[in-house]
């Protein structure tokens, strides 16, 4: 990396904004948009670059390494050190999964309710209907049966 590029990065690190002009070196002209694409720099105005929040460490490392390829390798190493969540799907059912042991704080017990099959649901619905409306079924049925028995003469009623 050229000395001018390192000086430009030091200015950015000090909080200055850098205006990209045609007289700027090719290395700086290529580097600033790359840093913006990585989220290290921001562009408050057209052709003006400034440091983004929480990017001082990255700019310092780029100045220290003095190489774009070394910096990208270092940056890739930083991204892989983040917490990677592993999900353990063993002993799980549909709609449930258990996180790996090192992530869980408390183990929770999930109780499953086995739903009855369709035939049982229909039988339960019929029984429930009869339980709710037995008097509306049995009273008219009893009246009809008594009426049939009177008509046939099995029951004699005298007034």
> What is d(CA 39, CA 58) in angstroms, rounded to the nearest whole number?
10
pTM (whole model) above 0.75: no
Segment holding 69, helix H or strand E? helix 68-80
> What is d(CA 67, CA 61) in angstroms, rounded to the nearest whole number?
10
The pLDDT score that the predictor gives to residue 102 is 56
Helix axes 26-37, 3-13, angle to 10 degrees: 40
Contact of 127 with 116, CB cutoff 8 Å: no
HSE value, Cβ hemisphere, 13 Å, CA-based, for 47: 6
pLDDT tens for the chain, 159 residues long, are 889 989 998 998 888 888 888 888 999 899 988 998 988 999 888 889 998 888 888 999 889 998 888 888 888 887 654 555 566 556 656 665 555 555 555 666 777 776 667 677 777 787 887 777 777 877 888 899 988 998 888 887 776
């Amino acid at each position: 990396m050229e000395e001018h590029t390192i000086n430009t990065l030091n200015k950015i690190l000090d909080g200055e904004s850098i205006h990209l002009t045609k007289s700027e070196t090719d290395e700086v002209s290529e580097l600033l948009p790359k840093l913006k694409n990585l989220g290290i720099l921001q562009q408050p105005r057209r052709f003006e670059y400034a440091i983004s929040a929480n990017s001082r460490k990255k700019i310092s490392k780029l100045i220290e390494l003095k190489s774009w390829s070394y910096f990208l390798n270092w940056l890739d190493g930083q991204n892989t050190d983040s917490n990677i969540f592993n999900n353990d799907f063993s002993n799980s059912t549909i709609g449930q999964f258990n996180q790996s042991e090192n992530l869980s704080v408390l183990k929770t017990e999930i109780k499953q309710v086995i739903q009855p099959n369709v035939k049982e649901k229909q039988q339960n619905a019929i029984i429930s209907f009869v339980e709710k409306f037995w008097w509306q079924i049995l009273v008219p049925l009893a009246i009809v049966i008594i009426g049939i028995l009177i008509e046939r003469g099995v029951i004699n009623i005298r007034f």
